[in-house]
Structures are given as C-alpha cells and as structure tokens.
Amino acid sequence: MLHSRISVADKRRSLREKLSGTSIIQMPGAFNPLSAKIIERHGFGAVYISGAVISAELGLPDIGLTTLSEVSGRAQQISRVTDLPTLVDADTGFGEAINVARTVQVMEDAGVSGMHIEDQENPKRCGHLDGKAIVDRATALQRIRAAVDSRRDPDFMIVARTDARTVVGFEETVERAKALVGAGADAIFPEALACLDEFEQLCRAVDAPVIANMTEFGKTELYTAAELENVGVKIVIYPVSLLRLAMGATVRGLETLAREGTLSSVTPEMQTRSDLYDVLDYESFNHFDSEVFNFTVHNNG
C-alpha cells in the first residue's frame, strides 16, 4: 500500500535467487515510482533505475552532471514502492575509490538491491555516445574492490560495467571482465557490444552473470530476451524505453492540443482515472480512514 511490504534484505536475496535460475531476468527501466509499480503489475522480475533517465528528468544530458544525492534519492523513491528488487546505475561511483565506497553505503541505505560501477573516466558520458574514455585496468579494479569492501550486506549486488568495447575493442573487454570478476564483481555489464556472438563469447569467458543493455537508438542491435537467454545472458535491461514511450506520447498529445484546442480525440490513449487509482491502491487506504476513500470511480474514467 504505502510502501513495499517486502524487506530490503528479502528483495536482495530474491535477486540472487532469480539469478541462480535458468530464465533471463527482464528489467524495464522505471522513470518514476509510479512506473515501477506498473512494471511490477505486468509481471517483470526486477526494476532498473537508469542514470540517463534521472539526468533527462532533470533536463540534463547524461555526461556526469548528476550527484550521488540526486540519484540515490530517486532510487529510494522507486525502490520503496515496489516489491521487486531494483538495480541502479551509479555511473563511475561519483568519484574515485573512496567515493565509490560511500556510494555503495548510500545506495544500501536507499534500499536498492544492487548497483553498477563503470570504468569510464570522469566526467562520464552515455555509453552509446562516441568520444568516451576509460580508465586503466588497475583503476577499474580499484573501484570494484572499494565497492565490494565497503558493502555491509553481502547480498547487495556489485555489478562491474565496462565501456571498453567501443574504446579499445572486444578482446580487452573480455580480459577486463575476467579481471573485474576476480576483483569481486557479482556480475558483468559489457556496454555497447557489437553483435550477439560477442555476448555469447563473453558469457562463456567469465564466471559471472552477464547483463545486456537493449537501449533503443544505440550501438547494439535490439535482440529479443529469448535470443539473449540462448547465448547465456542472465539479465537484460531496457533503461530508457518507458521514458521514451511516455515522452513520445507527451509530444503527440501537445501537438494535438495545439492543433485541436482539446485533448478529447486522444483520451482513449490515456491511462484512465480508474486504472490509475487501482495502481495506487486508493481503496486500501480505507483501512486507516474511511474518509480517505469514500467515493466511486466509474469505469469510464
């Protein structure tokens, strides 16, 4: 009702248990708490929280301008309303090794189930933009060791993201992934791989779950969950998809309003009032105060 009834510890254990299964975990990206609740209602196994989405919500490009407090605050808002485990994008950890250590503990306190740290130089940029630069392997490993050493809950997942593929090539991606697992990473997130065969090779090469990023308009083809599962991928994220859908509908709605002077022609495309109230579970608040929920929502709205 108000918040999730499942403890943070249980959510983290749930993610570990899901990873030990045979099925791929699909993680749509929530752009706010309401969208996280809708993801859960549609039967997905976990929720992803994208740094690019948080930047976009703030009207900023994804070039390392957001702060730890902004990202952890949004992650907490999303995590507390869903029974699903959440994985958050923590960029480079908002600094170097000591900053990474603090980031881990702040994210633990925010109630998320895991986070990923990348090996880009500061300031970072979107993983599907050109002109990225990565730190040397020793620095990347130092960040992951700091993350692992600083966590207090052993079930809190530390994911190592590497952006090496488009900077120095696939061979270094594989070698770096192996080293990151050796440093304690629970999973590997290889950004911007070129083809399905590269996912398969990486899955075979590393002794850890591999994450695929199916972001639209990027450098990687949009493979189906079944295709990714067949080559060994354990998690697939859709970081910006729901935001893009929502913003596309927003633009079309505003164009309609400007053109027609009313939105009556597009109301069939809108979420109804009754559906929104159902998602928000208005009726359950009557348990505390009958004056809160004392009305009828008609099916037509």
In a domain, 88, yes or no: yes
CATH number at residue 160: 3.20.20.60
The continuous run of DSSP H or E covering 190 comes out as strand 187-190
Type of residue found at 8: V
Question: Is-catalytic flag, 213?
Answer: yes
Q: Residue for token digits 């809160």?
A: 292
In a domain, 26, yes or no: yes
How many structural domains compose the chain?
Answer: 1
In a domain, 39, yes or no: yes
Q: What is the C-alpha separation between 277 and 271, in angstroms, rounded?
A: 10
Question: Is-catalytic flag, 203?
Answer: no
> What mean pLDDT comes out for the span 93-113?
97
Name the catalytic one among 12, 74, 125, 126.
126
In a domain, 256, yes or no: no
> What mean pLDDT comes out for the span 39-43?
97
| pLDDT given at position 25 | 98
Q: What is the C-alpha separation between 140 and 145, in angstroms, rounded?
A: 9
In a domain, 255, yes or no: no
Question: Is-catalytic flag, 165?
Answer: no
In a domain, 104, yes or no: yes
**What tens digit of pLDDT does each residue of 173-204 get?**
999 999 999 999 999 999 999 999 999 999 99
Question: Is-catalytic flag, 282?
Answer: no
| pLDDT given at position 146 | 98
Name the catalytic one among 62, 163, 186, 198.
62
Query: What are the tokens at 68?
Result: 């730890």
> What mean pLDDT comes out for the span 32-40?
98
In a domain, 1, yes or no: no
Determine whether 92 is exposed, middle or buried from the number of CB atoms within 10 Å of its CB (0-12, 13-18, 19+).
buried
Question: Is-catalytic flag, 108?
Answer: no
Question: Is-catalytic flag, 238?
Answer: no
Using alpha carbons, select from 132, 119, 191 the residue that is nearest to residue 167.
132
Residue range(s) defining the domain that contains residue 44: 8-239
In a domain, 44, yes or no: yes
Name the catalytic one among 40, 119, 191, 229.
191
